[in-house]
Amino acid sequence: MERNAMNLLKAAIMALAAVPMLTGAMDVILGASIFSISGSALGEAASKDPVVDSQVRFWGAIWFSFGIMLFIAARDLRAHALWFRILCAGLFLGGVGRLISAFAAGLPPAPLMIATLVELVVMPLIALWHSKTLVRRQTELR
């Protein structure tokens, strides 16, 4: 049972890691023109601004790397437990930032609202699942 729970968690995290890898790669490739695709009010003007375009590509690469780190951590959740929890905490803090932005600037399009929910609700639940699964495993080994 324990092994099945850990395998299910591992599969879920690996699937989740595909999101930052895919969207990060899209940001690097498309730059700020991604804003016109995502429904941003900035539209095409953003892709002509060198600062905005540079920042989107830079943070896209960081986001892509985050996905790779999440994927690697998921391969061995016991050995990479600390790093996995740090990554979960980073995503949660990103969700807090999105929530602050929603209050300050208004609600974003639906895909970003879904991302916010994942960051604020799903990631803490996955981190909790991970912790409980590891604690059960350590208890069984004693």
As a whole number of angstroms, the distance between CA 23 and CA 47 comes to: 17
As a whole number of angstroms, the distance between CA 44 and CA 110 comes to: 20
pLDDT by residue for the chain (142 residues), tens only, comes to 567 877 888 998 999 999 999 999 999 999 998 887 777 777 677 778 899 999 999 999 999 999 999 999 999 988 999 999 999 999 999 999 999 999 999 998 888 999 999 999 999 999 998 888 876 665 555 5
Ordered alpha helix ranges (H), the chain: 2-30, 34-38, 43-47, 50-75, 81-105, 110-117, 123-141
pLDDT of residue 139: 55
pLDDT of residue 124: 95
